[in-house]
Structure 1
Amino acid sequence: MDFGCWEVSVWKEALSAYPSRIETLSLNKNKPDLVSLDDFYCNQLPSLLHQRNPNPFITTPELSKLMQWKLSRGKWRPRLLDFVSTLDDAVVKSASQKAFQSLPDVSKAVSDLTVLKGVGPATASAVLAAFAPHLTPFMSDEAMEAALGNSKDYSLKQYLKFADKLQMKAKELSSEGDSFTPSDVERALWSFAVGQSSAAQANEDPKNKPSRSSKRKRKN
């Protein structure tokens, strides 16, 4: 699926496949906790954050769990998890309160969170996406590659470009009466990329390649 694709049905299909892609990744990559971590991130955490009115915040245990989700869904970097898990809870609470209050200024909100050790723009984007999916998509490698053609630059400047492109794409896809958030766009892009990767791996698996004898039978 090309980022420039304007067919809403194609994006809907990719987005609806997201849960099954999570399950596939969990099985194929031996990540048994990914399904429960994804449920926490997508369903439980947003509610927890919004219940804390009038000054929402995230806790250190929640940030640690979010980091586990991020690393399980992408590349595993254990040092980041170590850094985040040992952060003082009061410091995390204060930084996240500032960040949430800074929205819709995405640049300031990301900067408020990246003062925390182990939290770069990508992790900050995951925190903000859980709180404000209509503004701030998660900076996944797969979606970055699709939207910008580059997934190696994790700078704030690159994230702002990425968020802007996904905001515009969400508006474009919502113009027909459907409702897409930038976070929906990110998940659809991730889902499609993982589906493509899984299909390619299945084709390369020797068990799925026909034997010479079966090839001969087909010719006859």
Structure 2
Amino acid sequence: MELDFKCSDVGAWKEALSSYESRIESLNKPDLVSLDQFYRVKLPCLLHDRDPNPYLTTSELSQLMKWKLSRGKWRPRLLDFVSSLDDSVVKSASEKAFKSLPDISKAVKELTVLKGVGPATASAVLAAYAPDIAPFMSDEAMEVALGNSKDYSLKQYLLFVTKLQDKSKELKLKGEWDGPSDIERALWSCTVRSKSQPEEKSSSGKKRKR
């Protein structure tokens, strides 16, 4: 199903969100299923176990980057950059970022001092710790919410956050809904499904190139 961002039907949004795991599996990318479990389940627990002074390690940032690149576009240089960062530098920057919340602008700036970390990667870090505040800046969700997935600036991310937070609040008034990060996952799932449909439709015959 296609999901219009203006849609206010909680059921439609829940249906899109419920397909997230199957869409992750459908990409057939090496380790993506386990990386997604690490990102959505294990990493948030690790971060909150460190409260009241949560931080990220270089190893965790590398795993997060692998998840981000596997779920989206693969840019190996970014992985090389973050994997070579000193652990103390990553710990310090991430600790400052988490303490800056709910000021998302400040939190992103604290993280983007790290080589290889732009607003999109910073958003993934923040979303792992505070999914109710900061959604991940995925190309797929940006395209649906803003009509543009090419601008990775902080200004664009803040606009994206506002749109997803507002949509989340709207859905909460109509039914049960968690937060902006679930909006992002629902949009991502629908976009991935719509992109794969030509291939799925042609599976009975020759696989259509795309």
Would you say same fold, with TM above 0.5? yes
Equivalent residue pairs, number:
205
1:175 counterpart SS class: helix
String of CA shifts for 1:101-147, please: whole Å, max 9, x gaps. 00000000000000000000000000000000000000000000000
For 1:190 and 1:113, how far apart are their aligned partners in 2? 24
- Equivalent pair of 2:135/2:181 in contact (CA under 8 Å): yes
CA shift at 1:176, angstroms? Answer: 2.2
Unpaired stretches in structure 2, ≥5 consecutive residues: none
Question: Which has the larger displacement, 126-135 or 175-184?
Answer: 175-184
Residue in 2 that maps onto 1:4: 6
Q: Does residue 65 of structure 2 align to residue 67 of structure 1? A: yes
For 1:168 and 1:208, how far apart are their aligned partners in 2? 43
Within-5 A mapping of 1:71-150: 71-150=69-148
2:160 counterpart SS class: helix
Residue in 2 that maps onto 1:217: none
1:178 counterpart SS class: coil
For 2:175 and 2:141, how far apart are their aligned partners in 1? 24
For 1:4 and 1:53, how far apart are their aligned partners in 2? 37
Unpaired stretches in structure 1, ≥5 consecutive residues: 210-220
Q: 2:24 aligns with which of 22, 28, 34?
A: 22
Kindly, what percent of the aligned residue pairs are identical?
Answer: 70
Give the superposed CA RMSD: 1.2
CA shift at 1:208, angstroms? Answer: 5.8
String of CA shifts for 1:38-97, please: whole Å, max 9, x gaps. 000000000000000220000000000000000000000000000000000000000000
For 2:47 and 2:164, how far apart are their aligned partners in 1? 23
Letter in 2 for 1:99: A
For 1:200 and 1:47, how far apart are their aligned partners in 2? 38
Question: Max radius of gyration: which structure?
Answer: 1
Letter in 1 for 2:117: V
Q: Does residue 15 of structure 2 align to residue 13 of structure 1? A: yes
Residue in 2 that maps onto 1:165: 163
Q: After TM superposition, where is structure 1 displaced by more than 6 Å over at least 4 residues in a row?
A: none
For 1:84 and 1:126, how far apart are their aligned partners in 2? 14
- Equivalent pair of 2:111/2:117 in contact (CA under 8 Å): yes
For 1:174 and 1:180, how far apart are their aligned partners in 2? 8
For 2:178 and 2:45, how far apart are their aligned partners in 1? 19
CA shift at 1:18, angstroms? Answer: 0.2
Q: TM-score, normalised by structure 1?
A: 0.91
CA shift at 1:197, angstroms? Answer: 1.1
Residue in 2 that maps onto 1:218: none
For 2:76 and 2:203, how far apart are their aligned partners in 1? 29
Residue in 1 that maps onto 2:36: 38
Q: TM-score, normalised by structure 2?
A: 0.95
- Equivalent pair of 2:10/2:175 in contact (CA under 8 Å): no
Q: 2:174 aligns with which of 173, 176, 186?
A: 176
